[in-house]
Amino acid sequence: MSVSQQVFLRDAMRRLNLTRDVFAARIGVKRRALDTWLLPEGSQESRTMPDVVARFVTEIVENEALLKKYSQSAQSGPLRDRIAYEGKHQLLSVDQFSRESVEELFRIADQMQPIARRQKVSRVLEGAVLGNLFFEASTRTRVSFGAAFCRLGGSVCDTTGFTFSSMAKGESIYDTSRVMSGYVDAMVIRHPEQGSVAEFARATNIPVVNGGDGAGEHPSQALLDLYTILTEFSRLGKLLDGAHIALVGDLKYGRTVHSLIKLLALYRGLKFTLIAPKGLEMPEEILHQAGRHGHVIEQTSSLEEGLKGADVIYATRVQKERFAGEEIEGYSADFQVNKALVDKCCGPDVIVMHPLPRDSREGSHDLSVDLNDDSRLAIFRQADNGIPVRMAIFAVLLGVERLVQHSLRDVTWSPPSYIGPDDAIFPGME
Ligand code: NCD
């Protein structure tokens, strides 16, 4: 097996669209045994899967692939050609993905996990330079895109805010983009105006990634959110098809939820409850696009009502910086997602997500910190997933995804076993 057994098994379950329970039954092993094979190599509980099981799983997956090949017109060619935007290797919108291509990207993200977890290093992007152009506030997106590029062996040049860029002197998007293309090999751009990143992309042939364009889209965030949901569901033995997803908060200006609902709509039979304070509801055109696939979409302004029975709670911050003179005060105290509410409305296997940052100032009533020690709170695991997913995006756009596996070397330093001082270890989550 050229990939780790964890990557191999996760990939097999995703391709077969089976929960852990059903997959264990399908290959005739105990669920507990499967769980130990799925733990990261080197963890105490991890066990090696017998060769005969690996061969059997390969056979089932190959059979399934053959069936698929005969039943659909086969997908072919590199992933970057299949997700291209107006013929270019750029990532501007989640609309570029199908369920197959998104899952192909996630198989590449799984292969990046040993690098993201600081067990391996790779230099496949040695010599390449990323231009990180952020004209709006950012911590996670800017740093994780930069770190992802560096962890593949590339280097990063940054510019932040308008004040320190030539845009403050009146330079156009076209000129900025064209000039930058002469300096760097890929660009990530965040800009406060919707559609602006597409304008940057039209002025260059190098890969451009949309790091957030106003209230428009945030495709890499939605990809890492979906990756998180699938990974967490795999651990919990759930399937995404048929799940209940509650999107909470500023659904009008929150670009993360705009991209996420469209991406989730690629799955089957979902129930969405959209819970927004009055005046911050999801825009009609996005509702229309997600609703085309026959999902159930319910809208409410009652948090308690909307969260009932949810499998995923996705909370968001009020995007006050985008308010166009509206008289909206943000969240009232009864709009806060907190432990008491989650206990009351949802089961023990709900996952609570947030793209972060959460507003921790007094009176903001954003996602409460009282869930911090609760295994259902997935926000830091979600943020961590930004690295493997963004590495996969770069590897695909720059066409090096097939080189990664053979480029891996052991790390030379010793990172701490747990990154956060408060990281609680929950069963099956090492
Ligand atoms: C979000 C953004 O910038 O859209 N943050 C992020 O990228 N993780 C969400 C927000 O700012 O509220």
Q: Say yes or no to pLDDT of 122 above 60.
A: yes
Q: 261 is written with which tokens?
A: 């609902």
Q: Say yes or no to pLDDT of 164 above 90.
A: no
**Burial class of residue 188 in the structure, from the number of CB atoms within 10 Å of its CB (0-12 exposed, 13-18 middle, 19+ buried):** buried
Q: Please give the CATH superfamily to which domain 220-319+327-383 belongs.
A: Aspartate/ornithine carbamoyltransferase (3.40.50.1370)
d(CA 200, CA 86): 13
Ligand 1 near 221 CB (within 6 A): yes
Digit-coded pLDDT (tens) for 251-283: 999 999 999 999 999 999 999 999 999 999 999
Q: Say yes or no to pLDDT of 7 above 80.
A: yes
Digit-coded pLDDT (tens) for 284-332: 999 999 998 899 999 999 999 999 999 999 999 999 999 988 877 779 9
d(CA 162, CA 171): 11
The ranges assigned to domains in the chain are 1-75, 220-319+327-383
Q: Say yes or no to pLDDT of 73 above 50.
A: no
391 Cα: distance to centroid of ligand 1 (angstroms): 19
Q: If you search the block for the tokens 């092993």, which residue do you land on?
A: 29
Mutation test residue for ligand 1: of 136, 218, 225, the one with most atoms within 8 Å of CB: 218
**Total-model pTM:** 0.87
Least confident of 69-78, 98-107, 131-140, 189-198: 69-78
Residues in contact with 185: Cβ distance below 8 Å, sequence separation at least 6, in sequence order:
128, 129, 130, 154, 206, 207, 398
Of the pLDDT bands very low, low, confident and very high (cuts 50, 70, 90), residue 69 is low
The SS3 assignment for 384 reads helix
Contacts 24+ apart (CB under 8 A), 282-285: 282/247, 282/251, 282/252, 282/257, 282/258, 283/252, 283/258
* Cβ count near 423 (within 10 Å): 13
d(CA 41, CA 39): 6
Digit-coded pLDDT (tens) for 96-109: 999 999 999 999 99
Ligand 1 near 211 CB (within 6 A): no
Q: Are strands 244-248 and 271-275 parallel, antiparallel or unpaired?
A: parallel
Ligand 1 near 256 CB (within 6 A): yes
Q: Say yes or no to pLDDT of 425 above 80.
A: no
d(CA 123, CA 404): 8
Output the residue whose Cα is nearest ligand 1's atom 12.
317
d(CA 148, CA 155): 10
Q: If you search the block for the tokens 């651990």, which residue do you land on?
A: 235
Q: What is the CA radius of gyration of the chain?
A: 21
Ligand 1 near 255 CB (within 6 A): yes
